[in-house]
């Protein structure tokens, strides 16, 4: 799940926050991932 606004909601469902830099390259290269907002 790629979100910048619903972290607390998804954490209650068992999702974990993962640094974007460790996402597999095949996913990072997708248009959906590449166009998603990035907050530092």
pLDDT of residue 21: 86
Is the distance from CB of 10 to CB of 3 less than 8 angstroms? yes
pLDDT tens-place string over residues 1-40? 778 788 889 999 999 888 888 989 998 899 888 887 775 4
Rounded to whole angstroms, how far apart are CA atoms 39 and 26?
21
For the question of whether the overall pTM of this predicted structure is more than 0.75, the answer is: no
């Amino acid at each position: 799940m790629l979100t910048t606004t619903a972290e607390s909601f998804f954490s209650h469902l068992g999702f974990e926050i993962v640094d974007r830099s460790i996402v597999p390259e095949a996913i990072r290269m997708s248009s959906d991932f590449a166009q998603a907002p990035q907050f530092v």
